[in-house]
Structure 1
Amino acid sequence: MDKIISVIIVDDHPLVLNGLQFILRNTKTIDLKGCFISATDALAFLEIEKVSVVLMDINMPEMNGIDATLEIKKKYPQTHVVAISNLNEASVADRMLQSGASGYLLKNIAANELIQAIKDVDNDQKIVSKEMQAAMEHRKTEIPVVTPREKEVLAHLAEGKTTPEIADLLFISKLTVETHRRNLLQKFNVSNAASLIHKAAEMKFI
């Protein structure tokens, strides 16, 4: 007998919400626990009800899907979040996945693909729509545009300097250094300083 997977949907578009609801309510292996038009309502629900998979829109009022995912993964690390969005931008998908999402799907996905994606993430797999995979692969080959200040921060990071040291050397605040560092990670499509330095060296930035 197939495992029953508990799911909630978070999306502020009634038409999308109704469509997803129809698909999931007619799937025997899915237990649809609720539908919410705001992330704050969904978070309140998760305080009282355990859920396996959250289908999460990104652009929503009050709290966006990226911030909501961070909150969910902090409080309920066993809960899988899957972005389901119209945004086919690699940078948005990167941010969502870095926030702890287990997948990124576009809203043009077929019903059977959606059901399979839910099963996959429930089995601790990562899933990304084929269109998004192509966009993200394309982005990886692009040469990032780096500002002169970011190049300075990058050079100091490569020398092993800490955030406070870089702030002192460049006469800027530690917060500004962290902002530049975060922007560099995003531009080079990496998740940590070691990978950043390695990739930047490969691309002859340092």
Structure 2
Amino acid sequence: MNNTIKVAIVDDHKILTEGLKGLVDDSELATVVGVAHTAADCRHSIGFWKPDVLLLDVGLPDMSGIDLCKELTTRFPLTKVLALTTHNEYTVVRKMLDNGASGYLVKNAMAEEVLAGIEAVAAGKTFLCHEIDVLMKKPSSKNIWLSQRERELLKLICEGLTNAEIAAQIFLSPETIKSYRKNLLLKLGAKNTAVLVKMAIEQKLI
């Protein structure tokens, strides 16, 4: 097959890379064109391999996969990076994606998910394995995004103003303020205004 996806693997766990190589080569979907166990090996060889998809571990022995991801996607924009890692923390996933990764797999992902990920990123799509997809959709304190108006409202709530006072100050009806306040409680997962104020201060949301 000429349209077989060319895959390279960068991971310092040799047993894992062997298993992955076998999985990919047996799939008829893709073929492994190179394996590296360090960032230095990868840098040295990626120009020869010219992979369509690079399976990249976040924790490499000689440098962070997050930094390497940024470097490689800048140097080789046609190569899609699919992160493969034991890290399932929101911040690590976010950094990898911000640094150019097209997808994210955890190492205990099913074989089908690994192949689906390779196929998806090779086709220019973003792919998150099930566990990471669930994580990214979960409202966590680290990924709360508030609009300018919500921040303004939160600040006034923290100052102890009532709905009527806030309404008068930002020229909206008390009913509108009431629904904004309700949305903020939901968005931040706060049980009441006191918890909302505590979270706003602790997480520097205002």
TM-score strictly above 0.5: yes
The residue type paired with residue 46 of structure 1 is I
Provide Cα deviations, 1:128-179, integer angstroms capped at 9, x if missing partner: 11111222222xx234xxxxxxxxxxxxxxxxxxxxxxxxxxxxxxxxxxxx
Superposed displacement of residue 199, structure 1: 7.0
Superposed displacement of residue 67, structure 1: 0.8
The answer for the alignment partner of 1:11 in structure 2 is 11
Alignment partner of 1:45 is 2:61: no
SS of the residue aligned with 1:3? coil
Distance 1:39 1:134 in 2: 29
The answer for the alignment partner of 1:21 in structure 2 is 21
The residue type paired with residue 31 of structure 1 is T
The residue type paired with residue 72 of structure 1 is L
Superposed displacement of residue 200, structure 1: 4.7
Aligned length: 157
Superposed displacement of residue 3, structure 1: 2.5
The residue type paired with residue 104 of structure 1 is Y
Structure 2 vs 1, CA of residues 119 and 196 (structure 1 numbering), >3 Å: closer, same or farther? same
The answer for the alignment partner of 1:142 in structure 2 is 140
Provide Cα deviations, 1:110-135, integer angstroms capped at 9, x if missing partner: 21221121111011100111111222
The residue type paired with residue 142 of structure 1 is S
Structure 2 vs 1, CA of residues 61 and 28 (structure 1 numbering), >3 Å: closer, same or farther? same
SS of the residue aligned with 1:84? strand
The answer as to whether partners of 2:103 and 2:126 remain within 8 angstroms in 1 is: yes
Distance 1:44 1:199 in 2: 49
Provide Cα deviations, 1:23-77, integer angstroms capped at 9, x if missing partner: 0121222121111101221121122331100000111111121011001111011
Structure 2 vs 1, CA of residues 200 and 94 (structure 1 numbering), >3 Å: closer, same or farther? farther
Percent pairwise identity: 31
Structure 2 vs 1, CA of residues 72 and 86 (structure 1 numbering), >3 Å: closer, same or farther? same
Gaps of 5+ in 2: 156-204
The answer for the alignment partner of 2:201 in structure 1 is none
The answer for the alignment partner of 1:61 in structure 2 is 61
The residue type paired with residue 86 of structure 1 is T
Structure 2 vs 1, CA of residues 23 and 196 (structure 1 numbering), >3 Å: closer, same or farther? farther
The answer as to whether partners of 2:57 and 2:65 remain within 8 angstroms in 1 is: yes
Task: Report 1:52-91 matches (<5 A).
Answer: 52-91=52-91
The residue type paired with residue 140 of structure 2 is E
Give the alignment's Cα RMSD to 1 decimal: 2.3
The answer as to whether partners of 2:113 and 2:129 remain within 8 angstroms in 1 is: no
Distance 1:53 1:120 in 2: 10
Task: Report 1:54-203 matches (<5 A).
Answer: 54-138=54-138, 141-143=139-141, 187-188=142-143, 200-201=151-152
SS of the residue aligned with 1:82? strand
Provide Cα deviations, 1:174-195, integer angstroms capped at 9, x if missing partner: xxxxxxxxxxxxx4467xxxx8
Structure 2 vs 1, CA of residues 199 and 24 (structure 1 numbering), >3 Å: closer, same or farther? farther
Structure 2 vs 1, CA of residues 10 and 188 (structure 1 numbering), >3 Å: closer, same or farther? same
The residue type paired with residue 98 of structure 1 is D
Distance 2:41 2:136 in 1: 31
SS of the residue aligned with 1:8? strand
